Structure 1
């Protein structure tokens, strides 16, 4: 969506034009561009707000006339574009956050001490208010926002940490450490779907605010208006998500294998436990076949003598040159054997 004074040209999206005179009052004081479809920013119960990352390149060109500076440009995430104010000032940010919560990173080129501005060249983080919760002097970081040079900025938000990190500079190289890092919990501001884009206003001044490249991605979606050549951020996001899914699948397979091995081990243990124990019988015990529930498996010499009446010759039922077989009677069983 292209709103207000914003329009496309060959260099990107022009949010505000240079005024013809310093006292010129525009009928369209604000310029905004928003992605046509809202982006999902809420996750599940474990991670209520999704992490997101954005990269964009912009220029703020001073006017040829000696006019005062315009307000600047802001990266904006809001819930309801229709509630944006039509009056000039405050970079065109929402003036009723109670009904339209928003999050913005402002590249402010107007000094307003009533809003706590440090100077006319600073970067602020806004949450539901045009008064920044934190700001940093861009000049101290070697960047003049009104130089007319292309400035690239990266903004990352990691939901588990609840930290907003900001990088900016004249080059396309993202430094390892952020220039600004502020702990902020955006779960209280974000709704399930939010609109993403930029807002700009000249206020009582005159500047040309232009957006050249835009890209934002969360863990679940990618919104790209004018992507960077050979940009790796969306590819890395998809690869990271696919790697996470592959890792979860591998972990699930590993748990399944461990469970199967555990069940097999338990089954083998139970089979070994219930299998009958093999006993070694001596040669005397193996001469007799007994019914296990009726007769004992082993007889001591005393019982044998008693059963055969002290090996009485009358009890011999078979005899050869090597051995004699006696018939005996066990008193406990009352049965001959």
Structure 2
């Protein structure tokens, strides 16, 4: 690393000498900001969205209103966090405004058959990011005074898909599309009776909204998915949106319902701007330069010399820039290679206890890593059963973890090796050795003959009795207390789940898979990292901020405890096999109804200690509290399970948590991993009273 630093000094000097002036840099920044954009919900992360009101994420979709009792009110919005430029620099007229095209699929569903409809859904463009208004016909965009929250209502452009005829807004029917410009009263309306589209049908419907600034026309198309875009629009309006599309705006969706329940869900969406004009006056500048050169009489030789000078003046900086880029590329590449060698290398003498195996002996012990030897697969590799010949006729059995993509997983390999090599606890999987030959990354553990807790708990039949389950919960609590508070450095595991808890020959629990673990000093705060782990086990604040702490492990442990008691997965189907049920929510609901004991696994057939079951269920709920400050430390949990302390009081109603959204997980990852709700940042009791600008995660 030190040798690479002097090579960077010429880079810094050259960069300083060739840096553009402040004014030029500002102009470049402006030009970069004012450019056409393309947004696809499939590529967005949680940090790219701002959730307001009752909005939430579920299975990769965005729900805007809640399933509530009748009568009730609900409103929610979702916006892209980053603004979109609709004008170029110095743009003044209507043609200087960008055209745009939006495509999205949505469902408007009324869960109460026979009840009146709600109020509808809207696509909108707003000057403010905290746009949430009143419920009902205001669609969560405007309030009763006609203004929008945190932004000028007069600048809001919205296309509403309305399912309620509100006479005060001059609605033509309870099934119409309208264009709203700064007001809930539509400037143009199209009744959908003749189109064959019923917005309240519960069918997946796709909408296309196209605005062409040159033609000053907005068109809306509708079709039941997955049909292609229709040829004829349901609404076509001659309108100039240039007074409304001023500079940077925010794009999003909003919905509301009042007096009856209606659920509004956005399944997927894309948005793009185009025809955004380049920097103003560029074409006129070129024409003026051309006319000036033709009007002036310049001698041929003088003109030739000027052309040569102009060519040198242009080619000189270009050649210098090319040389700079090449020099920077070579230097940075060497620096990266040097850093990778330093980071990826580790010396055997640094590891006390585990020994280095050769690739040859591990390959022979696993029969060439044959598929018949696979005993498990994880996020960073595959685990093989290895039979290693020992002295005389004895054979030692190991579990060998092999990275599936060595070049991408070296950091995880080094992390796991450095963490677990220095740990000693009866409830930890013991690391026996390692290997990094032939480009392979291999970790060798003691073999656990009874597999994972996940397999034992959900296999048919379940092989764990109640005393064994209680022992598992107590053992994992003990090892987490050791990792969090008894090591020289804290260890945050970050991936506590049943598949990472193994069972030895006596069915005692062993915590393994430290591929995501991090070491940190006791007196230091956790650093922010990319959110990693398994959905269903992730604490709300971890998914939001990416900061792993002891409390995020405590949350995951609480979910595991509830699994042990209930025999249900964190996200499971209901009894009818249709709707996803969140385990924490389900147990908390039973607790609120004073039926907590009914959460016990039916496969136990009542063969359990009632007091122990209630104690463990209350511990699970305490650890899975959405508010991290209310969760107990693992040392306290150990005392409770050892009957040295009583469980902390657990509120009958699950607490709510509100915070701003800044996590980095992709929406598709959230959908693939669980089906949890990631909710908006407004009080459920009063949807129009904001608590924050972001979203909350409710499990």
TM-score range, shorter chain: 0.5 to 0.7
The alpha carbon displacement at 1:118 in A equals 1.1
Deviation sequence 1:286-327 (CA, Å, 0-9, x none): xxxxxxxxxxxxxxxxxxxxxxxxxxxxxxxxxxxxxxxxxx
Q: Are 1:99 and 2:148 an aligned pair?
A: no
Gaps of 5+ in 1: 222-240, 245-251, 261-266, 268-337
Instruction: List aligned pairs for 1:221-232, cutoff 5 A.
Output: none
Partner of 2:53: 4
Which digits, 9 at most, give the CA deviation of each residue in 1:135-171, with x for residues without a partner? 1111220001011101001001011111001100113
- List gaps (5 residues or longer) in structure 2: 1-49, 279-285, 295-299, 301-699
| TM-score normalised by L of structure 2 | 0.31
Report Cα offsets for 1:104-156 as digits up to 9, x if no partner. Answer: 11000011122111111111111111110111111220001011101001001
User: Is the counterpart of residue 149 in structure 1 residue 198 in structure 2?
Assistant: no
Can you list the C-alpha shifts for 1:29-70, whole angstroms capped at 9, x where unaligned? 211110111111113346321100110000001123433211
Greater relative contact order (CA < 8 Å, ≥ 6 in sequence)? 1
Per-residue deviation at 1:219? Answer: 1.7
Instruction: Kindly indicate whether the alpha-carbon contact (under 8 Å) linking 2:123 and 2:252 is maintained by their aligned counterparts in 1.
Output: yes
Partner residue, 1:42: 87
User: Aligned partners of 2:100 and 2:250: how far apart in 1?
Assistant: 13
Give distance in 1, aligned partners of 2:138 and 2:194.
Answer: 23
**Matched residue SS, 1:114:** helix
Checking the alignment, whether the CA contact within 8 Å between 2:78 and 2:254 is kept in structure 1 is yes
Q: Secondary structure at the match of 2:130?
A: helix
Does 1:54 pair with 2:127? no
Residue 8 of structure 1, CA deviation: 0.6
Residue 218 of structure 1 corresponds to 273
Whole-angstrom CA distance in 1 between matches of 2:174 and 2:135: 21
Q: In structure 1, how many angstroms separate the alpha carbons of the residues matched to 2:103 and 2:131? A: 26
Alpha-carbon distance in 1 for matches of 2:207, 2:259: 26
Alpha-carbon deviation of 1:86?
4.7
Superposed, which structure 2 residues align to 1:61-210 within 5 Å? Answer: 61-95=109-143, 96=147, 99-100=152-153, 101-171=155-225, 172-210=227-265
Aligned to 1:289: none
In the TM superposition, residue 81 of structure 1 has moved relative to its aligned partner by: 3.0
**Selected match of 2:65 from 16, 40, 44:** 16
Q: Distance in 1 between matches of 2:162 and 2:134?
A: 19
The answer to whether the 8 Å contact 1:30/1:86 transfers is: yes
Tell whether the 8 Å contact from 1:73 to 1:209 is kept in structure 2 after alignment.
Answer: yes
Tell me the number of residue pairs that the alignment of Structure 1 and Structure 2 aligns: 233
TM-score for both structures, normalised by structure 1: 0.62
Q: What is the DSSP-based 3-state SS (H/G/I as helix, E as strand, rest coil) of the residue aligned with 1:136? A: strand
- Whether the 8 Å CA contact 2:107–2:205 is kept in 1: the answer is yes
Higher deviation after alignment, 118-127 or 44-53: 44-53
Higher helix content, 1 or 2: 2
Deviation digits for residues 178-236 of structure 1, max 9, x if unmatched?
22210111111121011101000012221110000111100279xxxxxxxxxxxxxxx
Structure 1 66/18 Cα, relative in aligned 2: closer, same or farther at 3 Å? farther
